[in-house]
């Protein structure tokens, strides 16, 4: 009888391709890879699993609601914002190749070491985006962005303010009906789901492609009276074309749906946020890298988000991202408005 290949499954069908093994396999494709990077990704994955557990048990452990403080931007912190931030700091803080950790929850970044001391990467993150939705069980998420700590003059502040196209990796963890880890290292977008039974993120999709077009727009229309005219004209176009509207109010959930089903997610300038509400460095940039790597587009006004040069860790931007044809519909109105100015 011909010997069967002992490496081929015959009696089990478990998905055993974990985030860890997948990242390490990807690293093998880069001769100059040092394993540093997968060491950081394993810390992000550990933080995601820990936060997922806290989110799932929030009402049981009575950690919902306000923490009682405000973050550096004057926004009320949820208890889980503080908990998630601490978990990420603890998981990433002992990685010897990290130069700086920068969080939405901290006014200043935490500088751990400079390049000469081995600080090769900068990690910027929103520990729990959309946390105001936690009390009602709506999907929330962790967003992360990884930059190389470019060699600058010795002992100069690590270089964490770079345009988004310089990101070496970006992604998010969505704590929803399942816990989903979506990541890109610049060669496409891969998706993992947390298999609670083995405590590991397992690979469920590789090289995800966003649909080129889909008649769905995602925006908080309550503010539309104060959107710039171009966005109001776009909404009139979408209504006339019979578009559907989907808006969760949690960026990670809205962008994840857009990535998988197509459509366009918008956060235009509003009366209270003239420059847009979402943060460029640790929300718009990582999400823009994911969307572009999946074949989509991401713009702020007429500019490509990933080309914007940040000058402040917490600066905000407007956002239009999603299917290339849907972004082009919005862009057409924006460019027409700008040409008449
Ligand atoms: P609005 C959540 O607070 C958040 O930062 C993003 O996750 C979300 O896309 C946006 O704000 C929702 O803002 O003004 O519609 O409640």
- The whole-number pLDDT of residue 170 equals 97
- With a 6 A CB cut-off, is 250 part of the ligand 1 pocket? yes
8 A C-beta contact, residue 155 and residue 117: no
State whether 45 and 177 are in the same domain.
Answer: yes
Residue 78 has pLDDT above 80, yes or no: no
State whether 190 and 249 are in the same domain.
Answer: no
State whether 59 and 183 are in the same domain.
Answer: yes
Q: Which domain holds residue 108?
A: 10-206
8 A C-beta contact, residue 318 and residue 294: no
What does pTM read for this prediction? 0.94
Angle in degrees, CA 157, 162, 166, rounded to 5: 125
State whether 305 and 328 are in the same domain.
Answer: yes
- The whole-number pLDDT of residue 134 equals 85
Q: What integer is the mean pLDDT of 10-20?
A: 87
Residue 8 has pLDDT above 90, yes or no: no
State whether 190 and 224 are in the same domain.
Answer: no
Assess if residue 126 is contained within a domain: yes
List the one residue out of 100, 47, 104 whose CA is nearest residue 70: 104
- With a 6 A CB cut-off, is 251 part of the ligand 1 pocket? yes
CATH classification of the domain holding 186: 3.30.540.10
- The whole-number pLDDT of residue 37 equals 80
List the one residue out of 240, 245, 255 whose CA is nearest residue 222: 245
The residue ranking higher by pLDDT, 36 or 143, is 143
Q: Is residue 59 very low, low, confident or very high in pLDDT (cuts 50, 70, 90)? A: confident
State whether 19 and 126 are in the same domain.
Answer: yes
Q: Ligand 1 centre from 132 Cα, in Å?
A: 9
CATH classification of the domain holding 309: 3.40.190.80
Assess if residue 3 is contained within a domain: no
Counting the structural domains of the chain, the total is: 2
Listed ranges 54-58, 91-95, 326-330; the one with the highest mean pLDDT? 326-330
The rounded percent of the chain whose pLDDT value lies above 70 is 96
Region of 81 please: left (phi>0), alpha (psi -120 to 50) or beta: alpha
Assess if residue 5 is contained within a domain: no
Each residue's pLDDT tens digit, 238-275: 999 999 999 999 999 999 999 999 999 999 999 999 99
- C-alpha–C-alpha distance, residues 328 and 324, integer Å: 6
- C-alpha–C-alpha distance, residues 228 and 273, integer Å: 12
- The whole-number pLDDT of residue 9 equals 86
Of the residues 186, 206, 226, the one at which a domain ends? 206
State whether 21 and 161 are in the same domain.
Answer: yes
- With a 6 A CB cut-off, is 104 part of the ligand 1 pocket? no
In three-state secondary structure terms, 62 is coil
State whether 200 and 249 are in the same domain.
Answer: no
State whether 99 and 178 are in the same domain.
Answer: yes
Of the residues 206, 235, 266, the one at which a domain ends? 206
CB neighbours of residue 311 within 10 Å: 8
Each residue's pLDDT tens digit, 273-324: 999 999 999 999 999 999 999 999 999 999 999 999 999 999 999 999 999 9
Q: Given the structure tokens 């105001």, which residue do they identify?
A: 132
Number of helices (H) and strands (E), helices first, in the chain?
A: 7, 18
Assess if residue 69 is contained within a domain: yes
Residue 157 has pLDDT above 70, yes or no: no
- The whole-number pLDDT of residue 6 equals 85
Q: What integer is the mean pLDDT of 217-235?
A: 97
- C-alpha–C-alpha distance, residues 222 and 271, integer Å: 11
Structure tokens at 310: 């940040």
- With a 6 A CB cut-off, is 139 part of the ligand 1 pocket? no
Assess if residue 211 is contained within a domain: no
Mean pLDDT for the chain? 92
- C-alpha–C-alpha distance, residues 190 and 193, integer Å: 10
Assess if residue 324 is contained within a domain: yes
Q: Which ligand 1 atom is at minimum distance from the Cα of 254?
A: 9
From 125, 127, 129, 265, the mutation candidate for ligand 1 (largest count of ligand atoms within 8 A of CB) is 129
State whether 260 and 167 are in the same domain.
Answer: no
Q: Ligand 1 centre from 173 Cα, in Å?
A: 16
State whether 299 and 161 are in the same domain.
Answer: no
State whether 195 and 272 are in the same domain.
Answer: no
């Amino acid at each position: 009888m011909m010997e069967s290949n002992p490496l081929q499954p015959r009696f089990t069908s478990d998905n055993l391709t974990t985030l860890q093994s997948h990242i390490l396999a990807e690293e093998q494709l880069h001769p100059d890879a040092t394993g540093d990077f997968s060491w950081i990704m394993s810390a992000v994955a550990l933080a995601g699993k820990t936060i997922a557990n806290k989110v799932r048990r929030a009402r049981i452990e009575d950690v919902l609601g306000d923490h009682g403080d405000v973050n550096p931007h004057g926004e009320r912190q949820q208890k889980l914002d503080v908990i998630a931030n601490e978990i990420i700091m603890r998981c990433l803080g002992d990685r010897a190749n990290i130069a700086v950790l920068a969080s939405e929850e901290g006014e200043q970044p935490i500088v751990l070491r400079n390049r000469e001391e081995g600080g090769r990467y900068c990690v910027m993150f929103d520990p729990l985006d959309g946390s105001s939705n936690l009390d009602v069980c709506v999907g929330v998420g962790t967003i992360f962005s990884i930059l190389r700590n470019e060699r600058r003059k010795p002992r100069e502040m690590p270089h964490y303010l770079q345009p988004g196209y310089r990101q070496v990796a970006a992604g998010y963890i969505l704590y929803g009906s399942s816990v989903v880890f979506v990541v890109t290292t610049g060669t496409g977008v891969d998706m993992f789901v947390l298999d609670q039974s083995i405590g590991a993120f397992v690979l469920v999709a590789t090289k995800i492609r966003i649909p080129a077009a889909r008649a769905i727009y995602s925006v908080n229309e309550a503010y539309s009276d104060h959107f710039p005219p171009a966005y109001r004209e776009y909404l009139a176009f979408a209504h006339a074309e019979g578009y559907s509207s989907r808006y969760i109010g949690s960026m990670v959930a809205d962008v994840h749906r857009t990535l998988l089903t197509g459509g366009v997610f918008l956060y235009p300038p509003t009366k209270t946020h003239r420059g847009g509400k979402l943060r460029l460095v640790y929300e718009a940039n990582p999400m823009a890298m994911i969307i572009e790597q999946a074949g989509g587009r991401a713009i702020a006004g007429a500019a490509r988000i990933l080309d914007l040069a940040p000058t402040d860790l917490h600066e905000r931007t407007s956002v239009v991202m999603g299917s290339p044809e849907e972004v082009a519909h919005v862009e057409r109105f924006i460019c027409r408005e700008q040409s008449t100015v």
